[in-house]
Structure 1
Amino acid sequence: MATKPPPLVWADGRPMIMDTLRREIAAPSVGSVRSIQSGHPAQGMDPRKLGQILRAAEGGDEIAYFELAEEIEEKDLHILSILGTRKRAVCALPIEVDAAGDSPEEQADADLVRDWLDTGALELALFDILDAIGKGRSACEIIWKTTAQLWTPDRIKWRDPRHFEYDRTTGEDLRLRTNEGTKRLPAAKFVVHEHKAKSGLPIRGGLMRALAWGYLFKNYAIKDWVIFLEGYGHPLRLGKYGPNETEANKRILANALTQLGADAWGTIPETMKVEFIDRKAGTAPNDLWRSKAEFWDLQFSKAVLGQTNTTDAQAGGLGSGQANVHNDVRGDIMDADAKLVSATINRDIVVPMIMLNRGVRTTYPRIRIGRPDEIDAAIDIANAKELAAMGVKIGGTQMRERAGLPAPEEGEEPLQVSTPSNSPGEAPGDAAAPDIRKNPASAPLEPFKSPTGGNQDQGAVAAAQSERQPDGIDRAIDEALDDWQALVDPMRGPIDALLESAESLEDVRDGLINALQAMDVSAMQSVLARAGFGSRLLGDIEARGEGGEAADG
């Protein structure tokens, strides 16, 4: 068994009692106020009853409110879905640990938290901690274990919110319900997460308080819809009796109408009459109640996810852009949820774990839940190249890490940019050697040598020379454009004259059409025509020459 750590005091003055940390103190039990048996206030719910439940919760009697919140999640599939979506979005985010600093001691603190994260205890408990999103708060009990003088949370168990209540004086200090009354929560024993949908008392901050009214009105619509569907298509049985019928005969008629509905038969006196009236043509719109239910589903989606497009198929005029905007809204909510729950975990788990194992610190490592900011490595690399060319010193290790690439392992050949090899007989880096890459046409041609040192055949040399020398079409283009300035001046002259004589932009605009019509393009047309004819003729000659050589071969 590990040695007992020195007494530690929580920030608010509560001492850490080691024996309490190791055992469960908030488990439900038979005969206790912390029972697993639950009431069902949603049955027979109406506006008056709902108002009473919400007012009682404000006054400190929260049991019926939390029972109603659980029933709403069980009975309304849409609310169950969107609350689960919001919680699972945070559960799916990566979890990182940031050290408080660069000192060996601060790095060791962070490593302790990382080692505990590898056990998966937090991932298993995160969904239960986020139960506060709907109910406003959650309290999960930490059961600590000690091995090799190391204190770590072994289990983080969800506890029924009905087993806790806020102090009735302030409405903020959460206390545990016991048979002897309520008592203050021990230090470092619970993860208490308060997730407010709005500012105010914590008990009024849960989403369920707002969803409850919508659930009530939607439930009315569903009930009416079910009643309508139950009677839709069934004929109405109408019994008629004369003005002098006795009460006994009237009861006989009523019983007969009941039997006609249940058993399809009945007996009535001869003087009475039963009619079957078809009601199909006189019903209310069959989508009336569905529209009402769908309306409330949209309101639920807005309240929980901040939008509707990612949960409900809604046509919009903005195309996919509208869906992207809505998804961004949900992303903002997810990021905010992750920051809030990270703060709770750092306060209730990370700080006591470091205090129990390594003592009190001025600053503590932090757990961070969420995806890191996206980095465009291509832009960073391009910027680094430009800055490096300007003489700015940039760390290579930092750039590699920013690009997300690993460092080479010991003995591994590092990746390098390949460069063209020097020609035989030429010293590496020889400044006098011509750069063939810059001007292939003007570079001197050396005979190609085989790996054994002998010259290659003349055909290979000729092929290499033909690849490096310009062809006839290239030479024709160069000759045609030798006097390009003389060709362009007659075309540009009217524009230059207009710009010199114009006094304003309006003058240029008004005279531009006349200047374009005055441009002399005849010389350029003549040169282009001759060049085109010559290139076509040269191409035909070369093609026939290649074909003739192939035929001779």
Structure 2
Amino acid sequence: MRGVRQVFSSYPSSGITPQGLASILRQADQGNPYAQCELFEEMEEKDLHLISIMGTRKRAVSGLEIIVEAPDSPTIAEQKATDLVKDHMRSIAAFPEKLEGILDAIGKGYSVTEIIWGIHKQEAIITDLKWREPKWFRFDQESMSELRLLDAGYADGKPLTPFKYITHIHKAKAGIAVRGGILRPCAWMYLFKNYDFKDWVTFAEIYAQPLRVGKYPNSASENEKDILLNAVASMGTDAAAIIPDSMRIEFIEAGGKTGSTDLYERLARFCDEQMSKGVLGQTSSADAMSGGLGSGQADLHGEVRDDLLKADARQLGATLTRDICKPLVDLNMGPVDRYPKITVFIEDPEDLKELGDNAERLHRMGLPIGQDFLYKKFNIPKPQAGDAVLQMSAGSITGADSNTLDAAVAANAQETVGIPQQTILAAAARSMDKLAEQLEAEAAPITDAMIDRVRKLMDEVETLEELSERIPELLGDMDTSKLTELMAKAFVTADLVGQHEVINDGDE
């Protein structure tokens, strides 16, 4: 005899029809997802594209960093609980692989992972996490929200033992869990692609080889006709036959069927693209050739749309907090007011080009930037003693008028390899008087124009109250861009001179 929880499959995808698929989905809607789980399992096994994109979706999350966070301003007990969870999480073997089992809920709508408990030094510990067949579970008939274990003694399933399972419910959309998996809408594309493949293979069998026509004379007997027919049939498999000299076999090439072949391929590609949209949120990288620079995990993040990745991480973190943090703390310490929180951390990719430009700009302005920081950000190893390193010659400013403020600031502010910063700052200080004169000269026409507009307004009004009311209008229409640009140049100059004075004071 066999129990109700079987590891064997009934293979519901064999010969499946639209009516059969609809029946399987309706059974799941009524709280019995057994056949639906078996179908989803077969879909991933049989469809190479589907198993690839589902693996990408799950590994994009399972490879992320898991962080255990204490509550804000934790008490001594709450901090102790946080440290306890951290220690136990680190001791779980092959945890990323276990996470992929939990993330099976992305496709099926829910997943159940059994917690194997043990005792070590008078502490309850998690020794293992075992993925369990989702078809071994069903939902209660009343609310369709409580998972139950299939059991011969319980018509509606046996309630799950507390602290024994990690039950992850993935919500791709609102509604009951059995309808929330990504593989449910993919099932229709899988069905259509199966029909397409069957017709495509039949087409290939018929038109991939030439049509064989045997011709016999009018005087041929029935026995001779049978000989010719057998010879024509043998040509399809053995490529060899014997026939009387009075008979002949002709081969007619199949032509004009290119359009039909393209139709099958386009339909199969369309189904793949629709599944990619559902699973990854886009199609641009599902079939793209890999190449270029970047880490494997970063590539996975790029293939899964950012909002989907964050939603998966957020839902997984909530499940781990509920089903791992609370049991560990309650069994070892007893209940606490606030429990630690498990977060699946997503590090947003950084624009290294923008970082490099900003670092260069800030360095020229005199902001100290640690070399170790840049080595780490750009993932460049530090040169060791004796290593050949790239050198940059000290450049000079060309094509600039030395009498202008721009050239003066650039000539004194730009730092190049081989020129000490203090030397450059000293040069800026020596030019202080000249720069101040140039600033005053450039500012004069700008400020004079602004003052002239105020004077003109004063001539137009009759009272101070009227002047007070109209000045805001004047300021709103006034172009201050040139003055703003000039002040920015002045601030740069003042900053350089100030740094020089601070350095001099320190030396003294």
- For Structure 1 versus Structure 2, the TM-score category normalised by the shorter chain is 0.5 to 0.7
Q: Is the 8 A contact 1:90 1:334 kept in 2?
A: yes
| Structure-2 residue corresponding to 1:290 | 265
CA distance in structure 2 between the aligned counterparts of 1:338 and 1:282, rounded to whole angstroms: 49
* Cα separation, 2, equivalents of 1:370 and 1:498: 57
Deviations 1:85-124 (A, max 9, x none): 1111111211111213421111101111011111134434
Q: Partner of 1:145 in structure 2?
A: 118
Q: Match for 2:45 among 74, 99, 106?
A: 74
Q: Distance in 1 between matches of 2:303 and 2:244?
A: 73
Cα offsets for 1:457-487 (capped at 9, x unmatched): xxxxxxx9xx99x99xx9xx97xx99x98x9
Aligned counterpart, 2:305: 330
Amino acid across the alignment from 2:88:
W
Q: Residue in 1 aligned with 2:68?
A: 97
1: distance between equivalents of 2:320 and 2:454? 73
Q: Deviations over 1:69-96 (max 9, x none)?
A: 1111112121111111111111121111
- Corresponding residue for 1:508? none
The secondary structure found in structure 2 opposite 1:165 is: strand
User: Of the candidates 333, 344, 347, which is equivalent to residue 319 of structure 2?
Assistant: 344
Kindly report the root-mean-square deviation, in angstroms, between the aligned alpha carbons of the 2 structures.
4.3
- Distance in 1 separating the partners of 2:208 and 2:98: 51
Matches of 1:241 and 1:306, distance apart in 2? 62
Unpaired runs of 5+ in structure 2?
290-298, 360-375, 377-422, 461-508
**TM-score normalised by structure 2 residue count:** 0.62
Aligned to 1:410: none
Any conservation in 2 of the 1:233–1:280 contact (CA below 8 Å)?
no
1:171 aligned to 144, 167, 174, which one?
A: 144
Measured after TM superposition, the shift of residue 52 of structure 1 is: 2.4
Separation of aligned partners in 2, 1:120 and 1:349: 11
Contact 1:90/1:370 (CA < 8 Å) preserved in 2?
A: no
Q: CA deviation at 1:127?
A: 1.0
CA contact (8 A) 2:92 2:127 kept: no
Pairwise CA distance, 1:57: 2.4
TM-score with structure 1 length normalisation? 0.57
Q: How far apart are the structure 1 equivalents of 2:312 and 2:136?
A: 25
Shift of 1:155: 1.0
Match in the other structure for 2:232: 257
Q: Does 1:113 align with 2:88?
A: no
Distance 1:145 1:268, change over 3 A: same
Contact 2:92 2:128 in 1 (8 A): no
- With over 3 angstroms needed to count, the CA separation of the structure-2 counterparts of 1:307 and 1:285, relative to structure 1, is same
Looking at structure 2, the residues matched to 260 and 57 of structure 1 have their Cα atoms a distance apart, in angstroms, of 51
Partner of 1:193: 168
- Quote how far apart the aligned CAs of 1:50 are: 2.0
CA distance in 1, matches of 2:112, 2:210: 55
2:65 aligned partner, one-letter code? P
2:15 aligns with 44
Task: Decide whether aligned partners of structure 1 residues 344 and 256 sit closer, same or farther in structure 2, where only a CA change above 3 A counts.
Answer: same
Label 1:119 to 1:239 Cα distance change in 2 as closer, same or farther (>3 A): same
Aligned pairs for 1:2-13 (under 5 A) are: none
Whether 1:180 aligns to 2:153 is yes
Superposition pairs for residues 417-496 of structure 1, below 5 Å? none
Q: 1:329 to 1:261 in 2, by over 3 A?
A: closer
For residues 60 and 367 of structure 1, what CA distance do their matches in structure 2 show?
Answer: 31
Name the counterpart of 1:53.
24
| Deviation per residue, 1:103-148 (Å, 9 max, x gap) | 1111101111011111134434211100000111100111111122
Higher Cα radius of gyration: 1
User: Does the C-alpha gap of structure 1 residues 58 and 489 become closer, same or farther in structure 2, counting only changes over 3 Å?
Assistant: closer
Residue 238 of structure 1 corresponds to which residue in structure 2?
A: 213
Aligned ranges 1:207-286 → 2 under 5 Å = 207-239=182-214, 252-266=227-241, 274-284=249-259, 286=261
* CA 186–499 in structure 1, closer or farther in 2 if over 3 Å, else same: closer
CA contact (8 A) 1:98 1:367 kept: yes
3-state SS in 1 of match to 2:117: strand
Distance, in Å, in 1 between the alignment partners of 2:159 and 2:454 is 89
* Cα distance in 2, alignment partners of residues 365 and 498 from structure 1: 65
1:57 is paired with a residue whose SS is: helix
* 1:353 alignment counterpart: 328
Q: Which whole-Å deviations, capped at 9, do the CAs of 1:149-170 have from their partners, x for residues lacking one?
A: 2112211100011211122343
Distance 1:197 1:119 in 2: 32
User: How far apart are 1:173 and its partner, in Å?
Assistant: 2.0
Letter in 1 for 2:3: S
Q: Residues of 2 paired with 1:489 and 1:68: CA distance?
A: 81
Mapped to 2, the partners of 1:48 and 1:497 lie a distance apart of 85
Number of equivalenced pairs: 369
2: CA distance, partners of 1:313 / 1:354: 46
Q: Separation in 2 of the partners of 1:488 and 1:304?
A: 61
Name the CA shift for 1:498/1:359 in 2 (closer, same or farther; >3 Å). closer
Q: 1:375 to 1:206 in 2, by over 3 A?
A: closer
Identity %: 42
Deviation at 1:501, TM superposition (A): 9.1
Deviations 1:325-367 (A, max 9, x none): x949712211111111111111112112111111122321111
CA contact (8 A) 2:214 2:249 kept: yes
Give the drift of 1:375.
11
Cα 1:245–1:353 shift into 2, 3 Å: same
Which residue does 2:410 correspond to in 1? Answer: none
- SS of 1:42's equivalent in the other structure is coil
Q: Partners in 2 of 1:348 and 1:498 — Cα distance?
A: 72
Partner of 1:154: 127
SS of match in other structure, 1:287: helix
Separation in 1 of the partners of 2:349 and 2:14?
A: 49
* Matching residue's letter, 2:318: A
Q: Is the 8 A contact 1:137 1:195 kept in 2?
A: yes
1:240 is displaced (CA, Å) by 5.6
* Aligned residue in 2 for 1:305: 280
Is the contact made by 2:78 and 2:336 (CA closer than 8 Å) also made in structure 1? no
Deviations 1:180-211 (A, max 9, x none): 34311111111111112222221111111111
Q: Aligned with 1:368: secondary structure?
A: strand
Q: Give yes or no for contact 1:240–1:272 (8 Å, CA) kept in 2.
A: yes
Q: Cα distance 1:498–1:194, how it changes in 2: closer, same or farther (>3 A)?
A: closer
Looking at structure 2, the residues matched to 496 and 202 of structure 1 have their Cα atoms a distance apart, in angstroms, of 72
Residue 370, structure 1, aligned to residue 352, structure 2: no
Shift in Å at residue 273 of structure 1? 6.2
Rate the CA distance shift 1:375–1:113 in 2: closer, same or farther, 3 A: farther
The separation in 2 between residues aligned to 1:346 and 1:495, in whole angstroms, is: 63
